[in-house]
Structure 1
């Protein structure tokens, strides 16, 4: 057996140049590949590994070193792994054909072919493992770069919006104050309640921008809030929008559940979702319904605000809480982002589930 191995090694060493030339004709190498000559040198080194295996002097580390070298070159050249696998298998077939055509009684020693296959299998495994590792690292670096770029853009946009909104809020505060004075002096004056309502809506949008810019946060005190009472106030506040939108709203919070938080922040969250629901319902012609429910579970209050408006596709419902994502023609994409920040600030959760019959927002807050 040992003598057969020696003869086979001698045969392969004498025919190495013929092997390389024959293998050249079968490989796939892109015209843009930067390491064409290295590819053929690597093929020659692979040939040497087979010879070392036949001489019983090949270690697994020898295979790993060459495999890693080839993978790094492939990754640097940004070439696909499919061509590499094809070229390796072409080399495997070529060597086995040369061994079988050597004239030596190889058929009596099938384990020689098995050993050659083992060398190629190990090499392929190590090479693909390393190539995958390199590509994953490159992808992670790209994602980190994208994330950092996104954060910088958000920061600049936040600074711009903060400056603009602060300038905008001064006259808005004056308008709100004078509207209240007019309402006190002339309570029967037509349309003043509508003007006041719209100014409050505008003020709410301003507050949202200030949240996103992180230049101003609601600084009111945290206290125990009745969810039942809070929703009764909100429904009264948005009643004109409910009537105008021809919406039937049901408040099913029948018992007192209390959460410890800033009331203005909670108000902003629920108001945003309710107004979004009213807007969404304008797209349907059937009876428009909003249901508000609440239950306690595992020490948390779970508020569920549902509407029977159009279905929100899964890819959209997964993204609606991201900053500046909007499906509205004139939307800002910050309302639900602010809602998520407020709820998470209180160690809560917010999510959306939508199907053909209902779209529901689930808000969980510790009681």
Structure 2
């Protein structure tokens, strides 16, 4: 690589001689003004690096080669990162070195015809030096951040795996006595009086609620449903059934429900698990809408998109906070004050188990959960695209 400013042999010799003469002066004045902590783990290297830089500048004047610049800046960048020195401080110290050279040479009697050419050569060197220093510093920093992120993700996965095993163990331990309790309750209920009927109804509701929570833990642990029988079923019938099941809640909360369900939307999977997904998302919509004033609306749209089935459930409740949106499907992340944060995590696992995908889009006007599943025919094979079912 050629210097932008060519020096004559005489000028090169003169400039090199100046650096040899004022090497110690430049280095000592730079160390006085440089921002260097006494606790810096590479304190002894700092002085050496300053000397290396001056010698490297002399070598560059003789032969403008950048390989040595890259090697030195790589070493210094690694040390500055390990010393936890910010890039601003790092670059500031480099620029101070450049300024000190200008000041020292300004006190020397240098012919005017040489001064501008010398300054341009020094600038060329420091521009390259700065470029490689920033590049190496950024590369090292990025590498550390990536390694930390990978470590965090691995730790997160390990913890979720352990949590899943613990959840499954507890859930199974709870489910066995719960089944016995429900059986005895049914036996005792036969002799219930008018007075106690209400109590039995409440007990059964609470037991059903507890059983639902246990089911969610089992889904979360990835141990539930592995042996469930998959089959082809019409998704529009399942969606219609779940809306009818929740109709009393819609009515109680004064929620208007609008739906458009395409016929022949067959998919392959476990119908009961898809019902669990719909129940979770629709229940969340009802709970969210119960907190707002004015018109409350839920829209359900089922259509075909590129040979897949797309199911979208939208409500006009409050926007999901941006800081939660990215992790909304992670376990124990909830927008509700007393929520467990399991429902949407369970939904995601079930949808992905069915080779589908789920995403959430939230604005100030509405929040939509969009699920996409492979479309199947009655034999379980992928169905050809039908324009009459296309999403608008």
Structure-2 residue corresponding to 1:120: 126
CA distance in 2: counterparts of 1:239 and 1:167, whole angstroms: 34
Structure 1 residues 31 and 99: alpha-carbon distance in aligned structure 2, compared to 1, 3 A threshold: same
CA distance in 1: counterparts of 2:10 and 2:262, whole angstroms: 93
Cα distance, 1:183 vs structure 2: 8.8
User: Which segment is superposed worse, 231-240 or 266-275?
Assistant: 231-240
- Answering whether residue 142 of structure 2 is matched by residue 136 of structure 1, we say yes
TM-score, normalization by structure 1: 0.89
Cα distance, 1:44 vs structure 2: 1.4
Q: Deviations over 1:52-102 (max 9, x none)?
A: 223x23521111121111112111211112122111111112223434543
Maintained 8 Å contact 1:100/1:106: no
Cα distance, 1:272 vs structure 2: 0.5
CA distance in 2: counterparts of 1:218 and 1:284, whole angstroms: 39
User: Structure 2 residue aligned with 1:20, among 10, 21, 27?
Assistant: 27
The DSSP-based 3-state class of the residue aligned with 2:371 is: strand
Gaps of 5+ in 1: none
Maintained 8 Å contact 2:11/2:114: no
User: Structure 1 residue aligned with 2:74, among 65, 68, 75?
Assistant: 68
Structure-2 residue corresponding to 1:320: 328
Maintained 8 Å contact 2:15/2:118: no
Structure-1 residue corresponding to 2:42: 35
CA distance in 2: counterparts of 1:25 and 1:162, whole angstroms: 64
CA distance in 1: counterparts of 2:91 and 2:241, whole angstroms: 68
Q: Deviations over 1:252-308 (max 9, x none)?
A: 326332211110111111111011111111101323322222111101111111222
Structure-1 residue corresponding to 2:221: 213
Structure 1 residues 347 and 172: alpha-carbon distance in aligned structure 2, compared to 1, 3 A threshold: same
The DSSP-based 3-state class of the residue aligned with 1:259 is: strand
User: Structure 2 residue aligned with 1:203, among 211, 221, 232?
Assistant: 211
Structure-1 residue corresponding to 2:298: 290
Structure-2 residue corresponding to 1:265: 273
- Answering whether residue 357 of structure 2 is matched by residue 330 of structure 1, we say no
Maintained 8 Å contact 2:328/2:344: yes
TM-score, normalization by structure 2: 0.84
User: Structure 2 residue aligned with 1:300, among 300, 308, 315?
Assistant: 308
Instruction: Give the RMSD, CA atoms, in angstroms.
Output: 2.7
Maintained 8 Å contact 1:4/1:104: no
User: Structure 2 residue aligned with 1:173, among 173, 179, 184?
Assistant: 179
The DSSP-based 3-state class of the residue aligned with 1:350 is: strand
Maintained 8 Å contact 1:208/1:335: yes
CA distance in 1: counterparts of 2:336 and 2:140, whole angstroms: 41
Cα distance, 1:184 vs structure 2: 9.7
Maintained 8 Å contact 2:298/2:314: yes
Count the aligned residue pairs.
365
Cα distance, 1:230 vs structure 2: 0.8
Structure-1 residue corresponding to 2:233: 225
Structure-2 residue corresponding to 1:80: 86
Maintained 8 Å contact 1:249/1:289: yes
CA distance in 2: counterparts of 1:312 and 1:86, whole angstroms: 43
Structure 1 residues 150 and 323: alpha-carbon distance in aligned structure 2, compared to 1, 3 A threshold: same
Cα distance, 1:190 vs structure 2: 5.5
